[in-house]
Structure 1
Amino acid sequence: MKIEKVAKAGTLESNDVMITVMPNMDGGIEVEIDSIVMKQFGEAIKETIMNTLKELKVEEVKIKAEDKGALDYTIKARVETAIKRATI
């Protein structure tokens, strides 16, 4: 999937995550995570994001995740939604 534009999904409410995706003109995948639970779950959050991108066959994207304690399934849903919004 090719990212055409900037798109967002989610909120900054407790137990949610705001995902922003944008095209990466340099190629590859860049992930920036800002989380209230970064020390405990930062790697798990990144792994969930990367696995979701792999499932969707996205290879060139910049993602910013502003996490407020979201669970894995919420992170996955927000990434999928943002990617779909960016490719339409």
Structure 2
Amino acid sequence: MKIVKPAKAGTMESNDIYIMVYPNEKGNEIQLDSIVLKQFGKQIEKIIIDTLKELDVENALVVAKDRGALDYTIKARVETAIKRALE
């Protein structure tokens, strides 16, 4: 899938994650800011990367601002942002 426009999903509320997706010509990139970065940063990045692979997204810049979201919330927000970026 090709990202054709910027899109976002989520909120900055506690226990949520705000995902912004942009077209990117350098492959998939992730910029993560999280209140639990030291403890769970690698896990959050893995969920984002795995979700991009599942959706066959190859050229996306994902900017994530995490407020303690659980794994399923992260996956849902990434999927929603990607689908909005395709329309």
Could you tell me the TM-score, scaled by structure 1's length? 0.98
Matches within 5 A, 1:32-51: 32-51=31-50
Cα drift, residue 55 of structure 1: 0.2
Moved over 6 A (4+): none
Pairing of 1:7-86 with structure 2 (within 5 A): 7-25=7-25, 27-86=26-85
Report the Cα offset of residue 21 of structure 1: 0.2
Per the TM alignment, residue 80 of structure 1 is displaced from its structure 2 partner at its CA by 0.1
Q: Cα deviation per residue 1:27-75 (whole Å; 9 max; x = unaligned)?
A: 2111000000000000000000000000000000000000000000000
Amino acid in structure 2 at the alignment position of 1:10: G
Report how many residues are paired: 87
- Long gaps (5+) in structure 2: none
Q: Percent identity?
A: 64
